[in-house]
Structure 1
Amino acid sequence: MTSASSLSADKRDPGSSPPAFRNSYAQLPDRFYERIDANPVASPRLIRVNSALAEELGLDVDYLASPEGVAMLAGNKFPDSARPIALAYAGHQFGNFVPQLGDGRALLIGEVVDRNGTLRDLQLKGSGPTRFSRNGDGRAAIGPVLREYLVSEAMWALGIPTTRTLAAVTTGETVYRETRLPGAVLTRVAASHIRIGTFQYFAARQDAEALKTLADYTIERHFPQIAGQEQPYLGLLESVIAVQADLIARWMLVGFIHGVMNTDNMSISGETIDYGPCAFMDAYNPMTVFSSIDQLGRYAFANQPHVAVWNLARFAETLLPLLNDDQTKAIAQAEDALRQFQSRYEAAFHQGLRKKLGLLTEADTDIGLARDLFETMARNRADFTLTFRYLGDDIDSPEGTGLTRSLFANPAEFDLWATGWRQRLAQEPQHAMARRQAMMSVNPKYIPRNHRVEAVIKAAVESSDFTPFKELLSVLVRPFDEQPTMAQYAAPPEPHERVLQTFCGT
């Protein structure tokens, strides 16, 4: 098998050392998790270590690339300081409540303190069965592992809060889905793995003690600034609403579709988590759905803000016993907090839209101008990413010319919209060159387009070739740079290249 990593075991520093894990979540009561021993795989081999992230976490890169490190990353053998556990949680899946889900193919092996003093989880995905596996094999195929590695690192490079990928390894074993596929394990890094569904797990059991313990732990870990407030649990609800409103706005500004916004897939910390049937839009259509299991479009692109509010309402329900002994008053407090989502979301989204259009000041007509652009893009199936990217190039172009109009089936419709946009730009104080630079810093040229990701997966599955993965990753971590030799990665798919469905991979 070809390894894409520039690291190799034989270059290991003899002084390299394993992580010194902390295990704060494992100190919570036993009903929060299941302790798990290693589930060894046959022949783990390293695909890639994310060296920059490892250094950010204060981890020894040489150790991670060594046989001992690869054994840890595969779930074969853990350092003495690790306390591997599978976390318990519940969740609403496509609107239907499931009282017990949990980590069915993942292990939290421990926590590390990064260079900024922040506690970060290390979790293995595809590490084997747990009591939460629900008859699953607990393993992962290479495709979902590479997809999550590529998309999560792309999201990080775009400045969007996200879990990240520390490493990927192959297992030397086969997993069975629709066909026989190579197995793999991904090491995910997160602020934590506490989900809305974690709170739902204990609320469904009417376990008030566990709910309070979980809320106190969450406040201490993620929102310590509210610990001393008169109503810290209301502060927790408002804080989670605020970070989720910002997160969803950021998704919408880059055309990202999560694909499976179940409550067990929403992180309390406000990070994007669980990259299953996710995708970035090519041609703009607000009702775009990629997930093969989302038959009714519940999690379509345009529905994401509405789903976020619905999920947050389920979170609020779990906190009602902590908000007030009087349920009527608790419900009123929760409803008041939930009403904050829309204004927070709109503020973040509208600010982002102005930046994407090159507007640094505010005018009452700005949002209408943006809405008109989206409607024109939808009618003409214009590419989401390149429309905004090319607007920056077109600032100095004479009206009616430029790259952007070439993306529209009827360029005259774009020309009509651009007339109003140029009139609005004329009211801005900054020079065109400064405006262009500002636009290029928020409008990416490169995103993990579906057809490119699928090509990477095909090469890995069919030929054990990780060179395409390595090259695409190198492009995606610099989404705003021009990268002339990699320009092909910016192009939308040709009709025969379009990927219309993505899959969870479980």
Structure 2
Amino acid sequence: MHDLDQIWRFENSYLKLPSSFYSEISPSSISNPSLLLYNKVLADHLGLKSLNSNENYLTDIFSGNYIPEASRPLAQAYGGHQFGYFNVLGDGRAILLGEVKGVDEKKYDIQLKGAGKTPYSRRGDGRATLYSMLREYLISEAMHGLGIPTTRSLAVVKSEDLVYREKVNEMGVLTRVASSHIRVGTFELAARMGDSDCIRKLFDYTLERHYPELTDVENPVVAFLENVIDRQIHLVNDWMRVGFIHGVMNSDNMSISGETIDYGPCAFMNGFNPNTVFSSIDENGRYAYANQPKMAKWNLMRLAETLLSLIDKDAEKSVELVQPLFDNFEEKFNEVWKNNHLKKIGITKEQSGDQELLNELMNWMEKAKPDFTNTFRGLVNSYLHKDDVFQLEEFQTWKSKWKKRVASADGYEECLIRANPSIIPRNHLVEEALNNGSEGRNLKDFYAILEKLQKPYDSYKSDKFQNPPLSDLGYKTFCGT
């Protein structure tokens, strides 16, 4: 035992669940680990500030080479619908060390991703490329900077060991932090265990962890489902307001806590096109930008199916109680979408004609395909409207109408700044930074873009990070597994 182990104060509440929900297993060691990235601000929030100067100790833990005394590592089991088809899955390369209590008194999972084989690895090697772990660190911290609920990244460790994918890669291990790793797919697996006690125990555990305020309401299961739906409505709307495309919205990648999770093939849209797809495995556009609300609802319906037996003994009555939640889904989603996008044009108090004004802009954007981010941010930082597309008569006519509308609106410029990032993780710049960082060069470009992405709403005079690529045609993302 190391003297610093007591600082972690690990809990292992997931072990209260039946053993069919997990397998206890330790990470596999790696060769000559080095700590590339360590998120000191996040560490402070987790109550781990005392560890910040102990690099050797941190490297041993974040590599999986040393397990703190109170930790009981495990890999979680879950199922999930992947592109519409159910599979029994589980953490094939991720190992949960335990939970810590942050300075906000909330529990946070500490998980090592790329930590070695588990009983759920199937044909996988349990490892991750350094490139993909650096990418998740960058994108998850960018999402946090954008104010979007997300898992966080605490550290990345590099190993001299190699990972074989399409080519030989350097190996990396990411330390991921989450409110929990309970997924829609966790409930799907529980419902298929053939033991009603399993789904009840999972529900009770999840309610206590994420929605304790619902314990004493009249029907906590329906209330729970309603709250999960509400969080997902707001989460997916948050994605769409910044042009984010998750890329693999399988039900095992939907977190019950309402955080964005699993960043494999995600990317940010440049030119506006509702049908944008970046993921190489999404050949039919199932998870395209505009399909994300529909896919969220589909996943949530799978969650509802697992809970019916807990709502009422009469299955028909259970369906009657949950059906209104889905009948009203589109209306609720569209209301949040409208409010978000009105803020993106500086309007906080809707008046007659505002919906039409917004629709005019969105219709023009769909035809002209201007840069999504710069279209909105350019309303307050005019230099971002230098491209020829913004000189088109249709846009200039709309802009004149818009100026008249906001002329009397108090604080519209501040609203524009708060609602519209000036910098997003531009795909071409992310690739450049990751290639340099993962091919034995240096992390200079990585640190430069990370610093900007941590303050994405700040105003910058013309900056290379604001410039879209000449073209996104053919750009594809990959899962990295």
Give the TM-score range, shorter chain: over 0.9
Root-mean-square deviation over aligned CA pairs: 1.8
Task: Give 1:412 deviation, angstroms.
Answer: 1.3
Partner of 1:176: 164
CA–CA distance in structure 1, aligned partners of residues 125 and 56 of structure 2: 25
Equivalent of residue 9 in structure 2, options 10, 16, 20? 20
The question of 1:488 aligning with 2:464 is answered yes
Partner of 1:77: 66
The question of 1:333 aligning with 2:315 is answered no
Equivalent of residue 400 in structure 2, options 406, 416, 419? 419
- The one-letter amino acid of 2:478's match is F
8 A contact 1:17–1:63 mirrored in 2: no
State TM-score, norm by structure 2. Answer: 0.96
- After the TM superposition, which of the residue ranges 459-468 and 160-169 deviates more from structure 2? 459-468
Task: Give 1:409 deviation, angstroms.
Answer: 6.6
State TM-score, norm by structure 1. Answer: 0.91
The question of 1:97 aligning with 2:80 is answered no
Secondary structure, counterpart of 1:408 in structure 2? helix
Partner of 1:397: none
8 A contact 2:93–2:113 mirrored in 1: yes
The question of 1:501 aligning with 2:476 is answered yes
Per-residue CA deviations over 1:415-444 (Å, capped at 9, x if unaligned) read 122233223224x441xxx32122112210
Task: Give 1:156 deviation, angstroms.
Answer: 0.6
Partner of 2:295: 307
CA–CA distance in structure 2, aligned partners of residues 49 and 379 of structure 1: 44
CA–CA distance in structure 1, aligned partners of residues 287 and 68 of structure 2: 40
Partner of 2:24: 35
Partner of 1:66: 55
- Report matched runs for 1:267-306 at 5 Å: 267-306=255-294
Secondary structure, counterpart of 1:493 in structure 2? coil
- The one-letter amino acid of 1:263's match is S
8 A contact 1:246–1:344 mirrored in 2: no
CA–CA distance in structure 2, aligned partners of residues 277 and 46 of structure 1: 25
Q: Number of residues paired by the alignment? A: 479
- Report matched runs for 1:26-425 at 5 Å: 26-60=15-49, 62=51, 65-98=54-87, 100-394=88-382, 403-404=384-385, 406=387, 408=389, 411-425=392-406
8 A contact 2:30–2:159 mirrored in 1: yes
- After the TM superposition, which of the residue ranges 338-347 and 241-250 deviates more from structure 2? 338-347
Secondary structure, counterpart of 2:32 in structure 1? coil
8 A contact 2:347–2:409 mirrored in 1: no
- The one-letter amino acid of 1:153's match is E
Partner of 2:432: 455
8 A contact 2:7–2:50 mirrored in 1: no
* Uncovered stretches (5+) of structure 2, i.e. residues with no partner: none
Cα distance, 1:15–1:91 mapped onto 2, change above 3 Å: closer
Identity %: 44
Equivalent of residue 471 in structure 1, options 439, 443, 448? 448
Cα distance, 1:44–1:282 mapped onto 2, change above 3 Å: same
Deviating above 3 A after TM superposition, structure 1's stretches of 4 or more consecutive aligned residues are: 14-18, 60-65
Per-residue CA deviations over 1:256-315 (Å, capped at 9, x if unaligned) read 000000000000010000001001101110000000000000000000001111110000
8 A contact 1:16–1:60 mirrored in 2: no
CA–CA distance in structure 1, aligned partners of residues 271 and 388 of structure 2: 9
- After the TM superposition, which of the residue ranges 60-69 and 50-59 deviates more from structure 2? 60-69
Task: Give 1:121 deviation, angstroms.
Answer: 0.5
CA–CA distance in structure 1, aligned partners of residues 331 and 97 of structure 2: 38
The question of 1:440 aligning with 2:428 is answered no
8 A contact 1:240–1:268 mirrored in 2: yes
- The one-letter amino acid of 2:468's match is P
* Uncovered stretches (5+) of structure 1, i.e. residues with no partner: 1-13, 395-401
CA–CA distance in structure 2, aligned partners of residues 159 and 42 of structure 1: 37
